[in-house]
């Protein structure tokens, strides 16, 4: 084992047995990472600096997703005030091998001003992994990450970091910046609209960030955002789609079955129009209420007077993220966020298996 090669007192068998003790099989990914990091600390030198030195001697060989327990070790054992600078140096180093986006968040919660000052410094780092950490680590709604409620309420410190990264040459970093802004848009849509308006046209890389960052606002058909990206608007009382239809075949099916959706629309005459065509399903929930989910069909610029048509198969099978319930499900066709046509299907309970 790599650790034992640098720290002779490391008890490999004890480490492995402690990691795999009762309950290991039931732990999810983050729980397993935390178990490894915690047990590792119990088998390394008691002094945090000495323990880190062992990891520093092997971290160049420990690259990739399996080594997320390196930054997690810092989160677990490096919270003492006297260790703060050493922990920041460790996260900066380890993030280039795996990722410290989860580990940094507890430091942000404890001392946001100090931590965000370091994030601004990292945003100017020569290594793209460290620059990405500056953005990804402070996302208000990072999936599977510790919540940052202060930044959900006031994302100003986050925007200071993102401003430094808005023309980053790395796509890896730009994706993180866009995802961060998309997070912010869920709590402060108008702030992101203002940011998008001030950033767009600044640089081609920035334009890519803005477009990707506004995807939630586009799906919600925010009129300012649609206009910003050149989507056609209704004129003089005439909708973008002057006629439209959507049909579901079959219109009655069981949970787990699928239907084919056929749609057609005609765009108003005149200048070319950029259109975003979606279908939405009002899924019935357990309490009988409905919740709409949108699915993209097409996003393109077409000549005035064009007829746009197509078909899409949709399966009403249970997923980890969605459970289906019997009842009437309304299906709508939307053009640039406006309902243009509608139909419905009736979903019945799945057939019993013998």
Say what the pLDDT of residue 320 is: 87
The dihedral of CA 33, 36, 39, 45: what is its sign? Answer: negative
Map out the domains of the chain as residue ranges.
1-100, 241-348
pTM of the shown model: 0.86
Say what the pLDDT of residue 78 is: 97
* Mean pLDDT, residues 89-108: 97
* Mean pLDDT, residues 67-75: 96
Q: Please state, for a pLDDT cut of 90, what percent of the chain lies above it.
A: 88
DSSP category for residue 235 = B
pLDDT tens sequence across 272-314: 999 999 999 999 999 999 999 999 999 999 999 999 999 999 9
241-348 fold = Immunoglobulin-like (2.60.40)
Mean pLDDT of the chain: 94
CB-count exposure of residue 189 (10 Å: 0-12, 13-18, 19+): middle
Residue 19: pLDDT over 60: yes
* Mean pLDDT, residues 320-327: 92
* Mean pLDDT, residues 118-140: 98
* Mean pLDDT, residues 84-97: 97
Say what the pLDDT of residue 309 is: 97
Say what the pLDDT of residue 235 is: 77
Q: Which of 12-16, 166-170, 290-294 bottoms out in mean pLDDT, i.e. has the lowest?
A: 12-16
- Reduced to 3 states, what is the DSSP secondary structure of residue 147? coil
* Mean pLDDT, residues 232-258: 91
- Closest by CA to 344, choosing from 214, 240, 253, is 253
Say what the pLDDT of residue 352 is: 47
Say what the pLDDT of residue 350 is: 63
Q: Which of 6-10, 54-58, 256-260, 299-303 bottoms out in mean pLDDT, i.e. has the lowest?
A: 6-10
Top pLDDT among 235 and 350 is at 235
Say what the pLDDT of residue 339 is: 95
Where do we find the tokens 């002094």?
Answer: 47
Q: List % helix, strand, coil for the chain (3-state, nearest 5).
A: 45, 20, 35
Pairing relation of β-strands 338-348 and 327-335?
antiparallel
Residue 175: pLDDT over 60: yes
Say what the pLDDT of residue 238 is: 83
């Amino acid at each position: 084992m790599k650790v034992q090669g640098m720290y002779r007192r490391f008890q490999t068998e004890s480490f492995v047995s402690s990691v795999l003790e009762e309950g290991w099989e039931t732990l999810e990914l983050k729980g397993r990472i935390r178990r490894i990091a915690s047990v590792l600390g119990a088998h390394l030198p008691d002094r945090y600096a000495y323990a880190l030195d062992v990891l520093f001697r092997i971290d160049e060989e420990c690259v990739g997703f399996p080594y997320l327990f390196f930054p997690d070790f810092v989160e677990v054992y490096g919270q003492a005030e006297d260790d703060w600078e050493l922990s920041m140096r460790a996260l900066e180093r380890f993030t280039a091998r795996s990722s410290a986006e989860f580990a940094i968040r507890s430091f942000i919660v404890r001392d946001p001003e100090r931590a965000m000052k370091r994030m601004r410094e990292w945003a100017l780092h020569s290594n793209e992994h460290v620059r990405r950490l500056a953005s990804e680590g402070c996302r208000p709604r990072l999936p599977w990450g510790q919540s940052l409620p202060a930044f959900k309420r006031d994302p100003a410190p986050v925007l200071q970091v993102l401003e430094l990264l808005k023309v980053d040459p790395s796509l890896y970093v730009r994706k993180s910046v866009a995802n961060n802004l998309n997070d912010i848009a869920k709590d402060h849509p108008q702030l992101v609209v203002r940011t998008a308006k001030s950033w767009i046209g600044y640089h081609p890389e920035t334009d890519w960030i803005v477009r990707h960052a506004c995807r939630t606002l586009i799906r919600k058909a925010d009129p300012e955002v649609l206009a910003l990206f050149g989507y056609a608007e209704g004129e003089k009382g005439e909708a973008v789609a002057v006629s439209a239809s959507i049909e579901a075949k079959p219109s009655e099916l069981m949970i787990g079955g699928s239907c084919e959706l056929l749609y057609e629309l005609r765009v108003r005459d005149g200048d070319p129009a950029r259109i975003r065509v979606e279908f939405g399903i009002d899924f019935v929930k357990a309490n009988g209420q409905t919740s709409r989910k949108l699915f993209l069909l097409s996003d393109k610029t077409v000549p005035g007077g064009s007829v746009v048509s197509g078909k899409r198969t949709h399966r009403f099978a249970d997923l980890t993220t969605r459970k289906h319930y019997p009842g009437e499900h309304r299906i709508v066709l939307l053009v640039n966020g406006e309902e243009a046509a509608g139909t419905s299907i009736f979903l019945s309970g799945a057939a019993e298996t013998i």
